[in-house]
Amino acid sequence: MLLNKKGKNKQNHLKIGLDRANQAIILNCVADGVFTVDENKKICFFNKAAEKITGFSQKEALGLPCRDVFRTGICSTNCTIDTVKKSGQNIIDRPIKILNREGKAVMVSISAAVLKDEEGNIIGGVETFRDLTIEEELKKTIKKSYTFQDIISRHTKMHELFAILPDIAVSDASVLLEGESGTGKELFAHALHNLSSRKNKPFIAVNCGALPDTLLESELFGYKKGAFTDAKKDKPGRFDLARGGTLFLDEIGDISQALQIKLLRVLQMKVYEPLGATQSVHADVRIIAATNKRLLDKLKNGSFREDLYYRLNVIRLELPPLRERRSDIPLLADFFRQRQNTETGKNIKEIDEDVINTLMNYDYPGNVRELENIIQHAFVLCKNTTIKKNNLPKKIITYPSHEIEKKSLSLIELEKKAINKALLNTNGNHLKAAKELGINPSTLYRKLKRYDITYTQ
């Protein structure tokens, strides 16, 4: 790690680079890339792993400014060597993307420190970097098994829905999505649209509960010039904007009886009239409706028309609330951690296990949307690289664990219970139990051994 600095005593350099030959042998055996630079940030040492990761040979790299080898945006805006010089603090495991010799992006994790002589003068810097390509690909592979059209879940009920969505999508039948607020109904609607033959046409969403009745009617069907005082020109409605595509009617249970009749006609006759129009317009859309209320209950009290219900309810999908699929909480929390890192520029690496157990204990009346808000709150308060329990909102920390059975269970305990339940359901058949759990049989065998689980009838 010998550094050449003009005007400095060579003896200092020899002491820093003690036994240069042996040092090079050692560093060339390291799997991480290692390079050093002088005070002008020109490369003085470049080990074998650095050659392999970057594609540049040692001969090519020596003497070049490090930015010419690593070619990453931070070289000009947030150089790691400059940062450690100014702050006096070493950088540890900072993820960045570099471009290798062929111009291909490579994800690496870098650490950096300054190098000083015996008098404490900075004479250069050292960086180590680890190739994260395999790790990133593994993460993508793992996540892919839990992700479907941007919907993230490992729960059996959700995967049952994933399995039938492609078949539902190819049909033009109306779909009714029922589930509490924040369960991801619009994500499911998008998934159905993206899997359908209409995917290249518009997806238009309308929140029926957010608009008064008269305004909602003009939003859906549009109006003609002169239809009312302020109608200065024709305005297309959402049915027209969604032509050839999908119209998503969110909170359909909130529309009035009068509008229900007009919507029923569109579903029955495939035509509608914009306000002020004298001719009907053909409606070429696929309807997906959603509600956070049970429409059957609204049928019973007479606030929702039975004929419209059955027109909408050709295919009904019920989305489970987050409290019924707690195994998704760690997965979703980590997904939101990564999203917040991207959006905020922070580098929060993990969520403390105590935080996960606390999150598993909460009831989530706002479901997935509320969990995302909780992670955002934690990001604001987190001052290091790990989210701790005191970063959570107070209501989450103080939530009474005794109110809901199983909520205080750790992730391991929940996994044990899930395995035992699957074995019970399948009479101890390991292959069937693994299928029910959505894991590979070999994975089940490892978990049985790890947790010392045996099944007896």
Query: Any idea what DSSP says for residue 323?
Result: G
pLDDT confidence of residue 401 = 67
Residues in a beta bridge with 282? 271
User: What's the pLDDT score for residue 70?
Assistant: 85
Residue 415's identity, in one-letter code, is E
Confidence (pTM): 0.61
Supply the DSSP string of 242-283, one letter for each residue: TTTSEEEEETGGGS-HHHHHHHHHHHHHSEE--BT-SS-EE-
Residues of the chain whose pLDDT is less than 50? 1-18, 142, 402-409
User: Cβ(35)–Cβ(70) under 8 Å?
Assistant: no
- What residues does each domain of the chain span? 10-137, 151-320, 323-397, 411-451
Q: Give me the pLDDT at residue 156, please.
A: 85
Helix/strand/coil for 93: strand
Measure Cα distances from 152 to 137, 330, 334 in Å. Answer: 18, 11, 11
Q: Which one is the CATH code of 151-320: 3.40.50.300, 1.10.10.1100, 3.40.50.12780, 3.90.1150.10?
A: 3.40.50.300
Element (H, E) at 23: helix 20-28
The superfamily in CATH containing domain 411-451 is Homeodomain-like (1.10.10.60)
From the options 3.30.450.20, 3.40.30.10, 3.40.50.970, 3.40.50.2000, give the CATH code of 10-137.
Answer: 3.30.450.20
The confidence score (pLDDT) of residue 390 equals 95
Structure tokens that stand for 355 in this block: 């935080």
Helix (H, G, I), strand (E, B) or coil at 220: helix
Query: Longest Cα pair distance anywhere in the chain, in angstroms?
Result: 96
CATH 2.40.50.140 for domain 323-397: no
149 and 191 Cβ atoms separated by less than 8 Å: yes
Distances (CA, A) of 28 to 34, 50, 109, 112, 116: 9, 9, 18, 18, 22
Specify the pLDDT at position 407: 40
Task: Estimate to the nearest angstrom the gap between the alpha carbon of 409 and the chain centroid.
Answer: 25
Angle at 178 between CA 435 and CA 407, to 5 degrees: 60
**Fold match between domain 323-397 and domain 411-451:** no
The 3-state DSSP class for residue 223 equals strand
